[in-house]
């Protein structure tokens, strides 16, 4: 893989590499990157991998190569602006605390002020104490709010600006894929110039870019804008107008949840968007009048004015995108009745990536699982791309078993829940706990977690019962425990050893048939939609879930997929082809024997 990366850098030809767990793919792209002296951005979806790159892989690689390269390579981590403490907003909160602050919140502000004098980077992920969400929101700014360093009295000390400066001086910059998407959408204004981009966890690129290229509007966003404007303008009627708009938008969206919307035929929604834009335009005019009048004497109020102006301008731009509509986009409502959101997403992102990424930089894309149609969906042509599968160093046939009980009830069968519960019980008992149980719905996760907790003596940990890091730590420390989770745990979990000896997936993780965006994409593809959208996504998710089991050469265990369609349907062959080549079984007795030997 390292040789192929080096060749791609030299020839400026894109490279897509499937590299299984244990390959050492991070070093395989880091070493040739550092040796090439080319400026590069590494984009990864998970914070865990971002932190691993910054604290382990990059320092080790740079130390190892320094003597050979006769120079000390440099790197930097850059996050979105809202991840850094904003010193100006911190000053404002100390002088005029938010009205909803408790005494404890005020103490947290004092603690943050003390921490601001000690931290080197102001990265709030490194703040040592629990930070309440309302406090975090009050001491950070988004890109839609920040007036820029030149217009801020703390601009020269700004942690976010210092992070950008470090990134501008570094050979390698590590970012979140979402931030890289924002860089592409901003016509290259966020990150420093670079020759190469590495997209790690590349199987998620389409969804991330689609999300970044979308626009969203929610009642809460209107309420937040009202609060931002209200901190500068004492206009009760304007505030009421925003609140009415938020209520009216919520009422409209609830009836459209999980549905596509044709804005031109929905007069009620069009009227709400129009009245909301009118309120925002009134607010922007009032803010402009205050700025032109130069009647603000104190700097904190001036900064609130600048932030309100920037945020209101971006807000109007968002509404205009909704009102404009157009071809190639999908408008739909998502969320819950309590928190509905209106979203506008591109139908495809291949053309966008061709214009902003593939034509501008050499790209190295890698993942443990590369969907077979990835290059087509993201706009990479065969003529400019090299494909490579380097496999894995693990002996999957000896180390693992794939179990599919073909007699279990089909997911559409009324007896399904009882059948899954019984199968889970005997599998977990055979493994002595030590189970990561993955579900495609929250309902199924909680139902079966409660059932197993009453039937077996093992501790059952459930997603969302505690923070993710604490949950994984508890699972890792207590060997006989079981962890029940949903789709966010299908990837990014690295727990080697006996603690994780059994991975159970309740059913093939096909995407929701009623997802409005995927539904629109299916319509454009017609009969080929299942093979082009649903099957590759399910295969990738299933392979990612199976990849949680074998994390080193000593691990042994079982992956159980409690869905007979894996064995009985013709498409099962494609799903199996993406998974690690475990030995396979349909018989529980073989599974029990394998686990007994693996754990002896």
Same domain for 567 and 470?
Answer: yes
164 domain-assigned: no
Q: Among 10-19, 121-130, 392-401, name the one with the lowest average pLDDT.
A: 121-130
Domain that holds residue 127: 81-157
Top pLDDT among 63 and 524 is at: 524
Average pLDDT score over residue span 476-487: 96
pLDDT at 64: 83
* pLDDT over 70 percentage in the chain: 100
pLDDT in tens, 355-388: 999 999 999 999 999 998 999 999 999 899 999 9
pLDDT in tens, 489-505: 998 788 999 999 999 99
The strand ranges marked E within 221-291 are: 259-260
Of 576, 488, 582, 581, the C-alpha closest to 535 is: 576
Same domain for 60 and 209?
Answer: yes
User: What's the Cα-to-Cα distance from 349 to each of 206, 380, 517, rounded to whole Å?
Assistant: 7, 11, 12
Q: What is the DSSP letter of 38?
A: -
Instruction: Tell me what the pLDDT averaged over the chain comes to.
Output: 93
CB atoms within 10 A of CB 33: 25
User: What's the Cα-to-Cα distance from 196 to each of 11, 26, 43, 132, 207, rounded to whole Å?
Assistant: 12, 15, 11, 38, 21
Using the CB atoms, write b or e for 460-471: b if 16+ within 10 Å: bbbbeeeeeeeb
Of 36, 43, 40, 41, the C-alpha closest to 11 is: 36
* pLDDT range class, residue 99, cuts 50, 70, 90: low
Same domain for 469 and 568?
Answer: yes
Tokens of 296: 């603000």
165 domain-assigned: no
In the predicted structure, residue 142 carries a pLDDT above the cut 70: yes
pLDDT in tens, 382-413: 899 999 999 899 999 999 999 999 999 999 99
Q: Rounded to an integer, what is the distance from CA 466 to the centroid of its chain?
A: 19
Same domain for 431 and 524?
Answer: yes
545 domain-assigned: yes
CATH, residue 207: 3.40.50.300
Contacts of 133 (CB under 8 A, 6+ apart): none
Same domain for 321 and 190?
Answer: no
CA dihedral 254, 257, 261, 265 (to 10 degrees): -30
Same domain for 301 and 415?
Answer: no
Element (H, E) at 514: none
Q: Please tell me the total count of domains within the chain.
A: 4
Same domain for 450 and 566?
Answer: yes
In the predicted structure, residue 16 carries a pLDDT above the cut 70: yes
| Contact by Cβ (8 Å): 279, 233 | no
Same domain for 207 and 355?
Answer: yes
What are the phi and psi torsion angles at 504 (to 5°)? -115, 130
* pLDDT over 90 percentage in the chain: 80
Q: At what angle do helices 177-185 and 205-212 cross, to 10 degrees?
A: 50
User: What's the Cα-to-Cα distance from 520 to each of 137, 324, 331, 516, rounded to whole Å?
Assistant: 35, 19, 10, 6
Residue where a domain stops, chosen among 285, 313, 346: 346
Same domain for 19 and 87?
Answer: no
Report the first-to-last Cα separation within the chain, whole angstroms: 36
CA dihedral 541, 542, 548, 554 (to 10 degrees): -140
Q: At what angle do helices 416-431 and 588-598 cross, to 10 degrees?
A: 30
Top pLDDT among 386 and 142 is at: 386
162 domain-assigned: no
Tokens of 205: 């690129």
Q: Is 24 left (phi over 0), alpha (psi -120 to 50) or beta?
A: left
Q: Sheet with 400-403: list strands edge to edge.
A: 460-462, 482-485, 435-438, 502-505, 557-561, 400-403, 583-585
User: What's the Cα-to-Cα distance from 431 to each of 64, 101, 426, 594, rounded to whole Å?
Assistant: 41, 49, 9, 10
pLDDT in tens, 416-455: 999 999 999 999 999 999 999 999 999 999 999 999 999 9
Q: Among 215-219, 254-258, 263-267, name the one with the lowest average pLDDT.
A: 263-267
56 domain-assigned: yes
In the predicted structure, residue 294 carries a pLDDT above the cut 80: no
Please report where in the chains the tokens 């160093």 appear, as a residue. Answer: 393
Residue where a domain stops, chosen among 127, 157, 187: 157
Of 426, 550, 449, the C-alpha closest to 500 is: 550
Same domain for 438 and 314?
Answer: no
| SS3 label, residue 373 | coil
Element (H, E) at 391: strand 385-391
| SS3 label, residue 299 | helix
| SS3 label, residue 88 | helix
| Contact by Cβ (8 Å): 218, 333 | no
Q: How far apart are alpha carbons 211 and 334 in whole angstroms?
A: 13
Q: Rounded to an integer, what is the distance from CA 545 to the centroid of its chain?
A: 16
pLDDT at 100: 72
Tokens of 155: 């601009």
User: What's the Cα-to-Cα distance from 550 to each of 25, 236, 494, 553, 561, rounded to whole Å?
Assistant: 16, 61, 9, 8, 16
Average pLDDT score over residue span 340-361: 96
106 domain-assigned: yes
337 domain-assigned: yes
Q: How far apart are alpha carbons 16 and 13 in whole angstroms?
A: 10
Residue where a domain stops, chosen among 115, 133, 157: 157
Contacts of 329 (CB under 8 A, 6+ apart): 344, 345, 346, 347
Same domain for 201 and 238?
Answer: no
Tokens of 276: 């909301």
pLDDT in tens, 37-74: 899 999 998 777 788 888 888 998 888 888 888 888 89
Same domain for 416 and 281?
Answer: no
Angle at 427 between CA 421 and CA 432, to 5 degrees: 120
Average pLDDT score over residue span 210-223: 95
41 domain-assigned: yes
Q: How far apart are alpha carbons 369 and 52 in whole angstroms?
A: 20
* pLDDT range class, residue 21, cuts 50, 70, 90: confident
């Amino acid at each position: 893989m390292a040789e192929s990366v080096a060749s791609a850098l030299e020839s400026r030809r894109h490279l897509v590499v499937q590299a299984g767990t244990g390959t050492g793919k991070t070093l395989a792209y880091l070493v040739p990157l550092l040796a090439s002296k080319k400026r590069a951005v590494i984009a990864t979806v998970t914070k865990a991998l971002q932190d691993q790159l910054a604290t382990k892989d990059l320092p080790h690689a740079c130390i190892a190569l320094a003597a050979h390269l006769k120079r000390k390579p440099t790197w930097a981590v850059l996050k979105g602006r809202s991840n850094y403490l904003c010193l100006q907003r911190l000053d404002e909160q100390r002088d005029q605390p938010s009205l909803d602050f408790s005494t404890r919140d005020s103490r947290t502000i004092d603690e943050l002020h003390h921490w601001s004098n000690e931290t080197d980077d102001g990265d709030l992920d490194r703040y040592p104490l629990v930070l309440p969400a309302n406090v975090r929101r009050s001491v950070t700014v988004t890109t839609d709010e920040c007036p820029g360093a030149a217009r801020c009295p703390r601009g020269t000390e700004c942690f976010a600006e210092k992070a950008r400066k470090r990134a501008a001086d570094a050979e390698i910059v590590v970012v979140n894929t979402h931030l890289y998407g924002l860089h592409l959408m901003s016509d290259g204004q966020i990150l420093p110039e670079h020759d190469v981009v590495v997209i790690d966890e590349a199987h998620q690129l389409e969804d991330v870019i689609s999300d970044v290229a979308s626009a969203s509007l929610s009642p809460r966003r209107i309420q937040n804008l009202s609060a931002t404007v209200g901190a500068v303008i004492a206009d009760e009627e304007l505030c009421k107008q925003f609140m009415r708009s938020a209520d009216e938008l919520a009422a409209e969206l609830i009836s459209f949840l999980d549905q596509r919307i044709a804005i031109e035929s929905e007069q009620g929604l069009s009227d709400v968007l129009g009245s909301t834009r009118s309120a925002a335009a009134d607010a922007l005019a009032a803010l402009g009048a205050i700025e032109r009048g130069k009647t603000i004497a104190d700097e904190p109020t001036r900064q609130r004015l600048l932030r309100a102006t920037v945020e209101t301008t971006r807000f109007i731009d968002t509404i205009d995108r909704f009102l404009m509509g157009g071809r190639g986009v999908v408008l739909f409502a998502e969320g819950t009745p309590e928190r509905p959101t209106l979203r506008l997403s591109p139908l495809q992102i291949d053309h966008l990536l061709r214009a902003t990424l593939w034509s501008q930089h050499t790209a190295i894309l890698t993942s443990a699982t590369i969907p077979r149609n990835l290059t087509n969906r993201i706009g990479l042509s065969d003529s400019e791309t090299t494909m490579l599968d380097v496999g894995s160093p693990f002996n999957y046939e000896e180390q693992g078993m794939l179990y599919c009980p073909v007699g279990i009830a089909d997911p559409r069968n009324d007896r399904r829940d009882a059948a899954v519960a019984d199968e889970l019980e005997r599998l977990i008992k055979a493994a002595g706990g030590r189970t990561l149980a993955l579900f495609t719905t929250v309902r199924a996760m909680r139902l079966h977690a409660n059932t197993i907790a009453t039937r077996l003596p093992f501790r059952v940990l459930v997603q969302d019962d505690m923070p993710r890091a604490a949950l994984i730590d508890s699972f890792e420390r207590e060997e006989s425990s079981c962890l029940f989770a949903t789709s966010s745990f299908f990837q990014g979990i690295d727990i080697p050893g006996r603690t994780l000896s059994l991975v159970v997936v309740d059913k093939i993780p096909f995407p929701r048939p009623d997802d409005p965006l995927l539904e629109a994409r299916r319509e454009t593809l017609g009969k080929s939609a299942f093979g082009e959208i649903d099957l590759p996504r399910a295969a990738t998710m299933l392979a990612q879930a199976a990849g949680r089991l074998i994390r080193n050469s000593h691990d042994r265990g079982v992956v159980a997929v409690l869905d007979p369609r894996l064995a009985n349907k013709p498409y099962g062959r494609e799903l199996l082809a993406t998974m690690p080549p475990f030995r396979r079984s349909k018989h529980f007795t073989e599974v029990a024997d394998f686990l007994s030997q693996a754990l002896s």
